[in-house]
Amino acid sequence: MSIVAIVGRPNVGKSTFFNRLIQRREAIVDAVSGVTRDRHYGKSDWNGKEFSLIDTGGYVKGSDDVFEAEIDKQVELAIDEADAIIFIVDVEHGVTGMDEEVALLLRKSRKPVFLAVNKVDNSKRTQDAVEFYSLGFERFYTISAINGSGSGDLLDDLVKALPEQEEREEETLPRFAVVGRPNAGKSSFINALIGENRYIVTDIAGTTRDSIDTRYNRFGFEFNLVDTAGIRKKSKVKEDLEFYSVMRSVRAIEHCDVIILVFDASRGFDGQVQNIFWLAHRNNKGVVILANKWDLIEDKDNHSVKEFEKYIKKQCEPYTDVPIVFISVLNKQRIYKAIETAVEVYKNRTKKIKTSLVNDTMLPIIQATPPPQHKGKYVKIKYITQLPTEWPSFAFFANLPQYVKEPYKRFLENQLRNKFDFHGVPVTVFIRKK
């Protein structure tokens, strides 16, 4: 599929236009300059032609801001990947020195560039747009990203410039979301895996404000890695922007298959990390816990690893059947082991057990350890089947389902885990009337 990059200096309306094209509120839009701090991907189509969109951070030249130097790299990376570029400028501010810097970079790229003059919503502004001829492009398009006016002509010419590609049915790939508190090492973990600086990585917490997908192939298994905004405690979410970022992370958890929970081992498995863990569990997701920065822990040996693992599982009770991998992103220690474990968890989550095998395995166990009697009445479980859900769920058919209490349900769950290896994934047990 062709790739189109949306570039320009900060706060000219790139994310608003991006949202209009993909018809979803996908990128963060805020009046604060430089809010979009990373590349964000989406899909759009026009006249029956599909293409991927990259919404870049604002391009700023010669700034002392640590982010702006990194954003320069992001724009250059996006240009390298793109088949065509939409360069957005703002008629309200006219041509600026930053616009001229971006134009120079784009003219050197030799890619098809479509200059879009944004915020043109009356005839006076249409006349004002003429000054953008000075940027050296053959033509420009006057648009209003907020109401969509003028975008049709731009998109007509854009899709004509995109290369023809063979049509193939889009496959739905598994999604692994990398989550955790800000500055736990999530983006660095993904950078180490894919071998390129696809994400901005600085030592300032909260750099990644949106979630972004990266297609990845390892161990003969293809999936999407999703880097999310660091989830903060609610008391620290003081501005709408931060709150929206947290909601994006929560939605990323809701719409993925496996959660890779990264936490800073030097800070411990604290309450906020536990909240993320339980959010993943409530959403019935597979979970892999990564204890990052393990290289910074002093006096560690096998005993301390076991003790730390025991401590983590204590915080996760009663759901303790979860893999824990001790890693150092900086030294690239066990990062591939982490992904291999996540793949195994995904396979466990999607595992389907034949009805005959479930019954042949579980009924003798139930017969040997039946549910406790209730007021002189005996519960008899006669039949079991796996339900067609996205995670392992089993229905146990009994004569008196109302008398089967939670402790026995947990017993059944643990037996299912032991017999069929559901390591790292939730298992739901339903007791139904026979």
Q: In what order do the strands lie in the sheet with 84-90?
A: 40-46, 49-55, 2-7, 84-90, 113-118, 140-142
Query: Closest Cα partner for 54 from 75, 33, 70, 71?
Result: 75
Q: Which residue has the tokens 């309450």?
A: 271
CA 308 to chain centre: 28
Global pTM value? 0.63
pLDDT, residue 206, reads 57
- The Cα–Cα gap between 242 and 190 comes to 22
The per-residue pLDDT for 414 is 92
**Residue 270 token pair:** 């604290």
d(CA 157, CA 22): 18
Contacts of 68 (CB under 8 A, 6+ apart): 34, 58, 60
- pLDDT tens, residue by residue, 250-281: 667 878 999 999 998 888 888 778 878 887 88
Residue with tokens 């747009």: 129
In the prediction, which pLDDT does 37 show? 47
What tokens appear for 148 in the block? 């969509």
HSE on the CB side for 43, CA within 13 Å?
6
With beta carbons less than 8 A apart as the criterion, state whether 52 and 4 touch: yes
User: What's the CA gap between 99 and 94, in Å, rounded?
Assistant: 9
Flag residues of the chain having pLDDT under 50.
37-39, 167-171, 237, 239-245
pLDDT of residue 297: 73
What are the backbone dihedrals phi and psi of residue 91, each rounded to the nearest 5 degrees, phi first? -65, -25
Bridge partner residues of 393 (DSSP): 428
Alpha carbon distance 46, 152 (integer Å)? 9
Task: Give the Cα separation of 419 and 422 in Å (integer).
Answer: 9
Q: Is 400 left (phi over 0), alpha (psi -120 to 50) or beta?
A: beta
- What pLDDT shows up at residue 29? 52
